[in-house]
Amino acid sequence: MSLVKLLEEEYVKKHPRSRELYSRALRCFASGVTHDGRYVKPFPIYMARADGTKKWDVDGNEYIDYVMGHGALLFGYNDKRLRRAIESVLSNIHMGSCTELEIEWAEVIKKLVPCAKDGFVRACACGSEAIAMAVRLARLHTGRDKIIIHEGCYHGKWESVILAHNGPPYGLCNTRGIPRSVRENTIIVPYNKPEIVEKIFATGDVACIILQGNAPYTKEYMEELRELTEKYGVVFILDEVVSGFRYAAGGAQEYYGVTPDLAVLGKIVGGGAPIGAICGSRELLQYYEFRDDEYWNRFVRISLGGTWNAQPICISAGLETMKIIDRERDEIYPRLYKICERIVNCIVKCAEEAGIKVSVGGAPPERPMAFIHPKFGEGSSSLAAYAFYLSMVNNGVYPYGTGRFMPCVKHSDEDLERTENAMWKAMEVLKKDNLVPSCDS
């Protein structure tokens, strides 16, 4: 019997309650899940509680967790400071009015995020919504329709930007139901090819280019794009939903030293609550202004509401998170970098000891800080990622999806040691079942 089969049997034996719940979920949701990233075979694990860097499932199994609220929790689960912030506004969850809290929240964003320093902030409910808002601002400002996105990048569920997420071939996989008229206005380009981008810019039809902050761009590419967007009057949008406050206090734009026209924020800016925001130049965000000009108000400005825009429950923990980041950045980021580097080195070392070909993916390439994941290259079995997931989970480490890692600053040396032990066992499975080519092949 293969090791994968044995791992699967162990998984099923350890999670009887999760298996029961999945049977119920199949009667409620397509494939039994509410997020693609939670779909795993033979069934997903159902969690009961979380604290710090750990989660416990409905069967009582404990895990070192690397999901961290899909990257939203920089300080781990149930952080006392963030919990107090949320509890302080529970009586005012939704007054449907302006609050001082929203001003404080925006002021800290303006302090930390470079492109917001002299500009404006606009709140919304999620990153997908913020991306759509940013693109509309760019189209209105430039009078152009086309947008550029990069192969494999994820900018949320909006149909204009989901086109590049799956592939190759990009623009064709998982895109049915999106009108041709929408697809024709979205151009998909490879990473780090400024010469391709300039040819497209030169047509004069492009409103904006969107970069995913946690994608493997080179610093040189970011800098050249900044020059090209200024030359051709294209709006530079940086999607910082994942990279914001994770790469650095000012996000990927601080890390790369490149300031976009607009940045899209999410996740950490809400401290775990549902959130989205755009920030950037006043020249672009002016289109939300009311003026003493009837024509402007009726035909130029963007009319926009949003039930959850900057409501206290959405921003209280995010405000506290950003305040902590501002105070403790000199301790937070060196610790986070150290944790990420240790995980990267662990993957490389365990693969080398097992004598198999496994590399590390992440972004930016020189120091992965958002998603860290082992990459099984050419010649690997389609079961490699599945076997890796089963082995890690059976040994008490819970990755995002089937094998990605999103650390927080609270992952301890003990957590990392347990992760390393689980990693070593997973690599041994890949070797013994010949799921990944050996270094000699």
Domain boundaries, the chain: 3-77+329-432, 97-310
**Average pLDDT for 152-169:** 94
Q: DSSP class of residue 392?
A: H
3 touches 432 (CB < 8 A): yes
Rounded Cα distance between 207 and 394, Å, is 48
DSSP 3-state of 232: helix
Asked if residue 422 has pLDDT above 70, the reply is: yes
Element holding 182 (H helix, E strand): helix 180-183
**Average pLDDT for 403-424:** 96
**Average pLDDT for 336-340:** 93
Tell me, what's the pLDDT at 155? 96
Output the pTM of the full model: 0.95
128 touches 267 (CB < 8 A): no
**Average pLDDT for 24-32:** 98
* Model confidence band, residue 363 (pLDDT cutoffs 50, 70, 90): low
From the list 65, 71, 62, the residue with the least C-alpha distance to 53 is 65
pLDDT digits (tens, 9 = 90+) for 303-329: 999 999 999 999 999 999 999 999 999
- Structural domain 3-77+329-432, CATH architecture: Alpha-Beta Complex (3.90)
Rounded Cα distance between 372 and 340, Å, is 8
78 touches 50 (CB < 8 A): yes
Tell me, what's the pLDDT at 371? 74
Helix axes 16-25, 3-14, angle to 10 degrees: 80
**Average pLDDT for 263-285:** 96
Q: Is the dihedral of CA 344, 211, 401, 245 positive or negative?
A: positive
pLDDT digits (tens, 9 = 90+) for 73-95: 999 999 999 999 999 999 888 88
Tell me, what's the pLDDT at 441? 67
- What phi and psi, each to the nearest 5 degrees, are found at residue 375? -115, 125
Pull the structure tokens for residue 108: 């800290």
**Average pLDDT for 195-224:** 96
CATH of domain 97-310: 3.40.640.10
Q: Is the dihedral of CA 162, 165, 171, 173 positive or negative?
A: negative
Tell me, what's the pLDDT at 1? 67
Element holding 265 (H helix, E strand): strand 262-265
* Model confidence band, residue 402 (pLDDT cutoffs 50, 70, 90): confident
* Model confidence band, residue 253 (pLDDT cutoffs 50, 70, 90): very high
Beta bridge partners of 209: 148, 236
Summary mean pLDDT of the chain? 95
Asked if residue 67 has pLDDT above 70, the reply is: yes
Helix axes 384-394, 3-14, angle to 10 degrees: 40
Pull the structure tokens for residue 419: 């992760």
Higher pLDDT, 402 or 158: 158
* Model confidence band, residue 224 (pLDDT cutoffs 50, 70, 90): very high
